Amino acid sequence: MNNVLTEYPIAISPGILITGICMIFLLCRYVFKNRKTILSFFDHLYHRRKTREQLLDTIHENQAAIRQIMDNRLHDREQSFAIQRELSDGQRQLSESLSALSAKIDDMQRHTDRRFAESEQKNNKRIRAELKDKIGQSYRYYHSLGSISAMELEALEDLIEEYEEAEGHNSFVHSVVQKEMYTWEKVERI
């Protein structure tokens, strides 16, 4: 290769060599005069390339953001379905709880009604026994006297009426007391 560099310039004719040097000089002069235009051209190419790279980066970022949004949307949709399932399960459980609570309330109401009826029967039985005793005492007292005042007769009638309202069905009260009380002598007592 050293041979080529030393022998080649000797083999070239001086006219071609001068023409080549002039052309290199003119080219350098042209480049020097138009250096701003040339710099502007290369700067423009550089900025275009940089802008292109920025656009590509922006596109990649946007695509990544879109993928993230789509992934989130899928996740949100799955989460929405999960929430809907939980809501449906909650509503079903609430409905079951309300049904169970309603059944318990009905049971409690039946139990309360039964206890109230039993209590009322016991109360009525006690009241009947007290009224029967008062009627019996009054009967013995007025039977021994053989007389009764209008006010005492009315009080005895009221006792018998209360006894019947308390479901009292005693043959003694109906067959003996009621028949005999109207046969006693009517007197005025003070």
Share of the chain above pLDDT 90, in %: 6
40-65 average pLDDT score: 89
Residue 185: φ, ψ to 5°: -70, 135
In the chain, DSSP assigns E strands to: 147-149, 185-187
Is the predicted pLDDT of residue 107 greater than 80, yes or no?
yes
144-167, pLDDT tens digit by residue?
A: 988 888 899 899 999 888 888 888
DSSP type of residue 173: I
Determine if the pTM surpasses 0.85: no
Is the predicted pLDDT of residue 31 greater than 70, yes or no?
yes
**pLDDT at res. 7:** 61
Q: Is 188 left (phi over 0), alpha (psi -120 to 50) or beta?
A: beta
In whole angstroms, give the CA distance from residue 72 to residue 77. 8
**pLDDT at res. 4:** 57
Residue 134: φ, ψ to 5°: -65, -40
Q: Which amino acid is at 149?
A: S
DSSP type of residue 148: E
**pLDDT at res. 8:** 59
Q: Where does the pLDDT of residue 125 fall: very low under 50, low under 70, confident under 90, or very high at 90 and above?
A: confident
Is the predicted pLDDT of residue 11 greater than 80, yes or no?
no
**pLDDT at res. 3:** 65
161-176, pLDDT tens digit by residue?
A: 888 888 877 778 888 8
**pLDDT at res. 32:** 84
Q: Where does the pLDDT of residue 122 fall: very low under 50, low under 70, confident under 90, or very high at 90 and above?
A: confident
